[in-house]
Amino acid sequence: MKALVIGGGIGGLASAIGLRRVGWDVEVFERATRLDEVGAGISLWRNALAALDRLGVSAALKGLGVEGQTGAFRAPDGSILLDMKAGPIDTSREGVILLLHRAELLGVLIDALGRDSVRTDARLVGFEQDADGVTARFADGREARGDVLLGADGLRSTVRAALFGAEPPRYGGYTAWRAVVEFDPSRLVPGETWGRGRRFGQWGMTGGRAYWYATQTVPEGGGDPPRGRKRGLLDLFDGWHEPIADLIRATDESAILRNDVYDRPPLRRWSDGRVALLGDAAHPMTPDMGQGACQAIEDAVALADALAQVGPAEVPAALRSYESRRIPRASRIVRASHQAGTIAQWSNPLACKLREALLRSRFVARKQAEQLAWMIEPT
């Protein structure tokens, strides 16, 4: 049995590893000329760590990430609005959240799969399926044939457009900057700081590095100010608590990434016949719950479970079972992330005051913990 996986990101590689473990022959096709991830950090919650364990890669991840950081939501003056020590989402406990570098996570996945299984410079342009299999066509004229085709080709997925139409993604209303920088870990205050229409997050990583990110509510498609990206960020967070300005100052202008944030409303189906979606191709979400890649890794495990021990004729039914297991949970997280992002990016002064008061109340802390508890529970 042969699987064609389109896209060599976290979701594509994880699903290829999962299928290989249940006996499939797998080929991954990536349009880029080399496998790479952006120079940023990533947080993996407990649900993803459990799924990575099922994929057999958790031992290789040990030592690459930092666990047990006591996080908090703060006001721009540094006062704590809500600490993350509440019950099941206590980030100071081992095994709740792991912070690591995206490229290092990708490196572990590539090593586990083996580079020989990946074709780079392979941009999918179309596919056809029949009763016996599916044929993928690539931009350079190549073709490949398999029993299943998995679209792990991200936010602007070609596979999704072919299956369900080419709708543009939905703008989340804000832009995000990210960077990794060498920084004294003892000076970091892990967590997120919320102001009016902007946020700043910081977490420790291994090797004396810090991962920071910043957001601002802006119209879609904006550029950097004439004085530059770094200067613009220093102005944006002027007067905010330490060490925010120092983190920005310590970062090379060229190391600061910027992306407008998008998601898509949930789909009712992720598969058609022998073709299915996973990861951002299936359920792109705003990063407000830190679950996009975590959900892609859960997809990988569910796909391997569904496709284990099936014959060629049973592939469409197995993909239906995969999507019925995964769609309700992933869709709920898409909606929760969208809602959290909307509230977190409020800029109206009265609304922000109300938000601060709610965050400082114990009732909200309990509710927040309850909301995150189901999300990070291993499935």
Ligand X SMILES: Cc1cc2nc3c(=O)[nH]c(=O)nc-3n(C[C@H](O)[C@H](O)[C@H](O)COP(=O)(O)OP(=O)(O)OC[C@H]3O[C@@H](n4cnc5c(N)ncnc54)[C@H](O)[C@@H]3O)c2cc1C
Q: Where are the alpha helices (DSSP H) in the chain?
A: 10-21, 46-54, 58-61, 102-113, 158-164, 229-236, 244-249, 292-307, 315-344, 349-360, 362-376
Q: Is residue 173 a contact point for ligand X (CB under 6 A)?
A: no
Among 12, 71, 190, 191, binds ligand X (CB under 6 A): 12
Shortest Å distance, C-beta 166 to ligand X: 12
Q: Is residue 31 a contact point for ligand X (CB under 6 A)?
A: yes
Of 218-226, 230-238, 292-300, 334-342, which segment contacts ligand X by CB under 6 A? 292-300
Of 4-12, 218-226, 268-276, 367-375, which segment contacts ligand X by CB under 6 A? 4-12
Name the DSSP letter for residue 277: E
What is the residue-wise DSSP string for 154-195? -TT-HHHHHHH--PPPEEEEEEEEEEEEE--GGG---EEEE-
Shortest Å distance, C-beta 221 to ligand X: 15
d(CA 82, CA 70): 11
- CA distances for 17 relative to 77, 224, 275, 281, 379, angstroms: 46, 39, 18, 18, 18
Of 77-85, 118-126, 221-229, 310-318, which segment contacts ligand X by CB under 6 A? 118-126
Q: Is residue 166 a contact point for ligand X (CB under 6 A)?
A: no
Q: Is residue 259 a contact point for ligand X (CB under 6 A)?
A: yes
Among 51, 55, 89, 176, binds ligand X (CB under 6 A): 176
Q: Is residue 193 a contact point for ligand X (CB under 6 A)?
A: no
Total residues contacting ligand X by CB under 6 A comes to 34
Tokens 């613009």 locate to 232
Encoded tokens for 65: 């990430």
Among 3, 4, 5, 8, binds ligand X (CB under 6 A): 8
CA of residue 363 relative to chain centroid, distance: 29
Q: Is residue 11 a contact point for ligand X (CB under 6 A)?
A: yes
Nearest to residue 7, comparing CAs of 319, 306, 278, 318?
A: 278
Q: Is residue 277 a contact point for ligand X (CB under 6 A)?
A: no
Cβ–Cβ under 8 Å, residues 220 and 260:
yes
Among 61, 66, 112, 124, binds ligand X (CB under 6 A): 124
Of 65-73, 80-88, 116-124, 317-325, which segment contacts ligand X by CB under 6 A? 116-124
Q: Any residues with CB less than 8 A from the CB of 157 and at least 6 apart, and which?
A: 7, 151, 277, 280, 281
d(CA 103, CA 30): 16
Shortest Å distance, C-beta 91 to ligand X: 13
Q: Given the complex with ligand X, which of 7 and 76 has the nearer CB atom? A: 7
d(CA 39, CA 258): 11
Cβ–Cβ under 8 Å, residues 204 and 99:
yes
Of 29-37, 71-79, 188-196, 302-310, which segment contacts ligand X by CB under 6 A? 29-37
Q: Is residue 290 a contact point for ligand X (CB under 6 A)?
A: yes
Q: Given the complex with ligand X, which of 178 and 355 has the nearer CB atom? A: 178
Among 3, 6, 98, 113, binds ligand X (CB under 6 A): 6
Shortest Å distance, C-beta 260 to ligand X: 9
d(CA 97, CA 91): 6
Residue numbers of the site for ligand X (CB under 6 A)? Answer: 6-12, 29-32, 42-43, 122-124, 152-155, 158, 176, 178, 259, 261, 279-280, 287, 290-294, 296
